Every structure is written in C-alpha cells, then in structure tokens.
C-alpha cells in the first residue's frame, strides 16, 4: 500500500512538473515550498474513469454522453463553453460526436486539467490507482494507461482555459451552448450568481445544458440548496425557458480495481436563453423582484429616489447608482472599488448590496 501511494504521488508529480515554472535549484533549500508539488488526489478517480477504463456499452462515460445528447434534442451544440470540465472526457466525446462544434473547456484543477491536456493532444500517461482499503492483496494498486480513444483533438476546435467559471474572463454573448457538468452544486457559492453568468455568456437563443446530482457542498446554506423545480423557476425568472429534462440513477466512480463506488442520482436539463432581455413572467405579488435575485438584470428607479438620504455612505452610493440600466453586479463592482479591500470576495459584496437594496427599494419591501 505504501509503495502504491508513493508511486501515485510520483505519477502526479510527473503530470505537473512539465507545466510548472523552472526554479533555480541552488535557491531552494531543504524543505522549501518550491520542492513540493500539490496534488488533488481525491480527484484522481476521474482520470482513471475518463481515460483509463475500457469502453463499455453502459459505462459511466457512455451514460453521461447519452444523457446530455438527449437534452440537446438532436441539435448541434455549436460554440460551446464547458464550465468545470475536470478531466474533460465528456467534452472530448461531444467534440468527437459533433464535428461542427467548437469547445472551450475551463477548470481550475491543475492535475486533472494538465492530464486532460496531455491526453487530448496525443500523449499517453500512466497513473496508479492506490488503495488503503482492500479485500484482496491484488487490490492494493493498479496502473492505468491514459489515452484518448479516438486520437488527438484539433487545437482550432478544442481550447483549454484555466479560469474561475463563476466569473470567466470572456466576452458576453460568445457561446451557443454552456455546459455545466457536475458543477452547479459544487463550484459557485450561489447558483443565482452562476445563472447570471450563464445568461451573460450565451447568445440569444443559446442553451444552458446541465448534468449533475444537485448534491451541494456542506458550506452552502440550506436556503441556497435548490431542487430541480426551484432551479427551473430561477432560470425562468432570469430570462430562460427551462426544458427538456431527464433524471436517472446510475453507478458513479465504481472502481474497476476493487469494485467500490456508489450509485448517484443525476439530473440533465437544457434551458434556452430568451431573445428578449426581459425576465420570465408569472411572478406573485409577494415574490422578490428578479433583479434582486440575479446580478445581470437592470434595477428600476423608484419614486422619491432623488430625495433619498442616508447616514451610511454605502447606502447613498447604492441608491444614487440606480438609473434603470445599472445591475446589481455593476453596483457591487463600484462598492468593491470604493472599499479597496481585495481580500473580500465579490460574493460577499453582492450579498451586502442585495441587503441594502432590500432595505431601501420600495419594490423589495412590497415583495418577499
């Protein structure tokens, strides 16, 4: 077992070191941080599954592709952004299936992304699966040979970007499809902020396609752990038309070394961005206004706004910024620039702006 884990760490180092900046060895003392390579070992099973396991008629990769294809509804994805692409097998399979599509894969995991880049460009990697729990002695470790089953990708159609998917450095309206595989319940702190990002990234008529279990991180408050019906409701309030959708349970990361894994429920759906910028209809009188939920919708002016005054300078700045075109995100950026505290995440700034608007805007006081 010790040999297996030690070999696994060496495999991860071999993946990462070619992509790390060279440091003068003379300047690195014993135990220096530059001599250590971080490893996201918990995520290594994605590499075995995506690129090491042999194809199966009802395998995990095949089931994922089939679910996404069903909600694509026989349409080409076109120019596609894959948020939280991880080891990139689903993106690769879509690339092979749709020869007219162009894909941009985005993630922050250095091990998965480095390995995926190497494999999709024709390299063959060897990564050990090492076990600390085994029933038989031959389950201690196994070497998986990682390779792309249908050959390398074309760099003109398959691009890699290391970036934060919640605030991607990309031009608005750039994509026909945005795919979020196993991401919306783990990546963003608030799904509502991600929905605004998706709306901004998509062209009018473009589609948000999701695949995943809605199994939120423990640090996400219960009030933000949205079920399928609530997600669809939020999407429609943000300017999408939800559907079609499908859910099923199936094997998830069931090791082909020791048979251990689990069964997971997953949801696949597609939501189309409406051509109009107006949010969805059907709101009740006690509902919060959509522009309070989402950061991409303009905040309306209100009667008596010109006479409004508060002792709090932030409140005065928020109210004076409302002109019928400014969004919650626009105001949050101004507040962050004024505060000059880069250690405060934008999600906290948006929360503060939301609370301010909820206290002063008449439409919020009338709603829920």
What pLDDT digit, counting tens, does each position of 311-362 carry? 888 899 999 999 999 999 999 999 888 887 777 888 788 888 999 999 999 9
Angular region, 243: left φ>0, alpha ψ -120 to 50, beta rest: left
Q: How far is Cα 357 from Cα 349, in angstroms, rounded to an integer? A: 12
The pTM score is 0.85
Tell me the three state secondary structure of residue 308: coil
Q: Strand, coil or helix: what is 295?
A: coil
**Cα 284 to Cα 251: distance, rounded to the nearest angstrom:** 40
Top-confidence residue, 318 or 281: 318
Q: How do residues 222-257 score in pLDDT, each as one tens digit?
A: 988 999 999 999 999 999 999 899 999 999 999 999
DSSP state of 165: S
The yes/no answer on whether domain 7-21+34-273 falls in CATH 3.40.50.150 is yes
Over residues 84-99, the mean pLDDT reads 96
How many of the other CB atoms lie within 10 Å of CB of 180? 23
Neighbours of 172 (CB within 10 A): 12
Long-range contacts: 251-256, Cβ < 8 Å, 24+? Answer: 251/60, 252/60, 253/45, 253/46, 253/49, 253/60, 254/60, 255/45, 255/48, 255/129, 256/48, 256/53
Instruction: Examine the pLDDT at 286 and tell me if it is beyond 80.
Output: no
Residue 228: Cβ-neighbour burial (10 angstroms; 0-12, 13-18, 19+): middle
User: What is the pLDDT at residue 283?
Assistant: 55
The 10s digit of each residue's pLDDT in 115-125 is 999 999 999 99
Rg of the Cα atoms in the chain:
23
> Phi, psi (5° rounding) for residue 251?
-65, 145
User: What's the average model confidence in pLDDT over 301-318?
Assistant: 89
Q: Judge whether 328 and 350 are in contact, CB under 8 Å.
A: yes
Confidence of residue 25 (pLDDT cuts 50, 70, 90): very low
Q: What angle do CA 181, 123, 93 make, to 5 degrees?
A: 30
Could you read off the pLDDT of 133-153 as tens digits, one per residue?
Answer: 777 888 888 999 999 999 999
What is the rounded average pLDDT for all residues in the chain? 88
**What percent of the chain is modeled with pLDDT above 70?**
91
Supply the pLDDT for residue 282.
Answer: 52
Q: Where are the domains of the chain?
A: 7-21+34-273, 290-366
Contact (CB, 8 A) for 129 and 142: yes
Sign of CA dihedral 293, 298, 299, 300: negative
């Amino acid at each position: 077992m010790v040999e297996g884990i030690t070999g696994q760490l060496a495999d991860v180092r071999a993946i990462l070191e070619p992509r790390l900046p060279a440091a003068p060895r003379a300047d690195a003392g014993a135990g220096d941080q530059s001599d250590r390579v971080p490893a996201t070992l918990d995520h290594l099973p994605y590499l075995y599954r995506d690129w090491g396991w042999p194809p199966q008629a009802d395998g995990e990769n095949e089931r994922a592709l089939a679910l996404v294809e069903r909600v694509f509804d026989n349409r080409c994805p076109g120019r596609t952004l894959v948020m939280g692409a991880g080891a990139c097998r689903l993106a690769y399979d879509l690339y092979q299936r749709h020869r007219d599509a162009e894909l941009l894969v985005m993630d922050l995991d250095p091990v998965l992304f480095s390995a995926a880049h190497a494999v999709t460009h024709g390299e063959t990697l060897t990564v050990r699966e090492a076990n600390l729990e085994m029933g038989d002695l031959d389950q201690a470790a196994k070497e998986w040979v990682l390779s792309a089953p249908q050959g390398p990708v074309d760099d003109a159609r398959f691009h890699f970007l290391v970036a934060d998917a919640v605030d991607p450095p990309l031009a608005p309206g750039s994509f026909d499809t945005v795919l979020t595989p196993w991401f919306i319940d783990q990546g963003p702190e608030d799904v509502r902020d991600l929905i605004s990002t998706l709306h901004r990234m998509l062209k009018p008529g473009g589609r948000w396609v999701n695949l995943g279990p809605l199994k939120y991180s423990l640090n996400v408050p219960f009030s933000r752990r949205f079920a399928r019906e609530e997600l669809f409701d939020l999407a429609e309030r943000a300017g999408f038309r939800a559907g079609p959708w499908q859910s099923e349970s199936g094997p998830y990361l069931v090791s082909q070394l020791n048979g251990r894994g689990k069964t997971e429920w997953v949801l696949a759906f597609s939501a189309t961005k409406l051509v109009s910028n107006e949010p969805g209809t059907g709101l009740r009188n006690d509902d919060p206004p959509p522009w309070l939920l989402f950061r991409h919708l303009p905040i309306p002016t209100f009667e008596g706004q010109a006479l409004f005054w508060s002792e709090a300078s932030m409140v005065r700045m928020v109210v004076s910024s409302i002109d019928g075109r400014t969004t919650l995100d626009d105001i949050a950026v101004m507040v962050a620039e004024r505060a000059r505290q880069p250690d405060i995440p934008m999600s906290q700034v948006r929360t503060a702006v939301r609370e301010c608007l909820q206290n002063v805007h008449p439409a919020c006081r009338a709603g829920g």
